[in-house]
Amino acid sequence: MTPSRVFRLTNMLQRYAWGSPTAIPEILGAAPDGQPVAEMWLGAHPLAPSLATAVAGAAARDEAETVDLAALVRSSPDAMLGRSVVEAYGPRLPFLLKILAAESSLSLQVHPHPHVARAGFRRETAAGIALDAPSRNYKDDQHKPEMLLALTSFEGLCGFRRPARTLALLEGLDGDFVARMREALRASPDADGVRAAFEVALSARDVDCTDDLARTVASVRARIDAGLSTSRADQTVLDLDGWFPGDPGALVSIMLNRVSLAPGEAVFLAAGEVHAYLTGVGVEVMASSDNVLRAGLTTKRVDVEELMSCASYAPRPPQRPVLRAEPGGLTAYRAPVPEFSLLFGAVSGSALVTHDGPRIVLCLDGRLTLSGPLGPVATLDRGESVFVPHDAGHMTLDGDGQVVVAYVP
């Protein structure tokens, strides 16, 4: 019997403007360079695949052939992924793991449903739009449900509030667009009214509405200053207008559920869910896609019509994953999609990773030794990660540290 093979990963950093200059470098044990680091991608997405180097033992860091993870998976899909994963998704890793560090708001966005992503990708490819073109919406043909697990206190906006609550928050605010939003919700206090009010708010982008939005923001500020504000929604409007002055996304924020996550808490976002992360550091796992439709709060491409065509307008509270205790103190976070799940928690002694299929193991703190059936195969310090193929079998983590494991359930 040969020792289990695992592959040490070198992961790609994304330096978007909203990122924190310190959070991800701190996890990696690197000195900040003063520039924002928004995300670290761990996976095989073609836009930024991790580089994989085989390791032979717990202390092995010798020079070996390095290939991108997508190529490694394609070279031996059954061994890397397992037959059931290959049959379901083809010879590709179906999930993408990220560390996300937001110092200011991400865009107001939606991720497309599978049929929308496939059609959009074909349409833009046939039109000859380059994959890296700023005018492109669909970077691949996959949907992008996602789950975010907070590592610090994390704030976000996820899905639409009940219309009655939105109406209460809009009451007393100045501005023609706000008045039209109220009219839409009063006329139809359901998903149809939510869509109509959402469309009114976003239509402010198409006209010179600077003065009208400024009136609304001023009335929000006056309500706070007078001690009459009863919701964090008012402060969110001011925060967003400070980051993106005059952007109608500040109006939309009044319609969205505010989500506050403590470390270890998580939220799931289905395709079509309107959302905007605000601040905090978290681990994000998703179907392996980079398809994002944006409606505001960004300097990137905005396509309101395309976003509205696939957004979900049903008012509902944010969806939380199902949690289950695992052997050794880890917790499984199960989302209602087949592409991904997470294990997360502190290891003090030993913890089992009994799931088959492809796995990515990321040490968030401390030092952990990963062992297979024949003994240790890799040691992970803070910020280090490995890809564990299906054919490596079940694994054990020993040591003291914090870990997250992405896997196919």
Domains contained in the chain, CATH given:
9-157+261-306 (2.60.120.10), 162-254 (no CATH), 323-407 (2.60.120.10)
Task: Give the orientation angle of helix 163-170 with respect to helix 176-187, to 10 degrees.
Answer: 150
Instruction: Calculate ∠ Cα 377-381-382, nearest 5°.
Output: 140
- pLDDT on residue 61: 46
Q: How far apart are CA 50 and CA 362, in angstroms?
A: 13
Q: Does 109 carry a binding-site annotation?
A: yes
Number of helices (H) and strands (E), helices first, in the chain?
A: 12, 20
Contact partners, residue 387, CB within 8 Å, separation at least 6: 6, 7, 9, 50, 52, 69, 72, 358, 359, 360
Q: How far apart are CA 185 and CA 196, in angstroms?
A: 8
Task: Give the orientation angle of helix 232-243 with respect to helix 210-225, to 10 degrees.
Answer: 140
Please report, for residues 147, 328, 403, the alpha-carbon distance to residue 370 in angstroms, rounded to integers and kept in the order given: 25, 14, 11
Tell me whether strands 66-68 and 154-160 are parallel, antiparallel or unpaired: unpaired
Q: What is the pLDDT of residues 356-390, one digit of tens each?
A: 999 999 999 999 999 988 788 999 999 999 999 99
Q: Tell whether the torsion through CA atoms of 153, 157, 163 and 165 is positive or negative.
A: positive
Contact partners, residue 131, CB within 8 Å, separation at least 6: 47, 139
Contact partners, residue 292, CB within 8 Å, separation at least 6: 107, 109, 110, 111, 144
- pLDDT on residue 111: 96
- pLDDT on residue 60: 43
**Class of residue 323 by CB neighbours under 10 A (exposed 0-12, middle 13-18, buried 19+):** middle
Catalytic annotation, residues: 294
Please report, for residues 148, 155, 198, 263, the alpha-carbon distance to residue 160 in angstroms, rounded to integers and kept in the order given: 18, 16, 10, 24
Contact 395, 362 (CB under 8 A): no
- pLDDT on residue 4: 64
Residue carrying structure tokens 């928004």:
38
Contact partners, residue 130, CB within 8 Å, separation at least 6: 136
- pLDDT on residue 38: 98
**Class of residue 9 by CB neighbours under 10 A (exposed 0-12, middle 13-18, buried 19+):** buried
Q: How far apart are CA 204 and CA 96, in angstroms?
A: 35
Contact 143, 114 (CB under 8 A): yes
Spatial CA neighbour of 364 closest among 406, 396, 333, 404: 404
Query: Quick one: tokens of 307?
Result: 């976003």
- pLDDT on residue 132: 87
Contact 351, 361 (CB under 8 A): no
Spatial CA neighbour of 95 closest among 126, 129, 70: 70
Contact 335, 145 (CB under 8 A): yes
Spatial CA neighbour of 171 closest among 161, 185, 159, 158: 185
Contact partners, residue 230, CB within 8 Å, separation at least 6: none
Low-confidence stretches of the chain (pLDDT beneath 70): 1-4, 56-64
**Class of residue 262 by CB neighbours under 10 A (exposed 0-12, middle 13-18, buried 19+):** exposed
Q: Does 111 carry a binding-site annotation?
A: yes
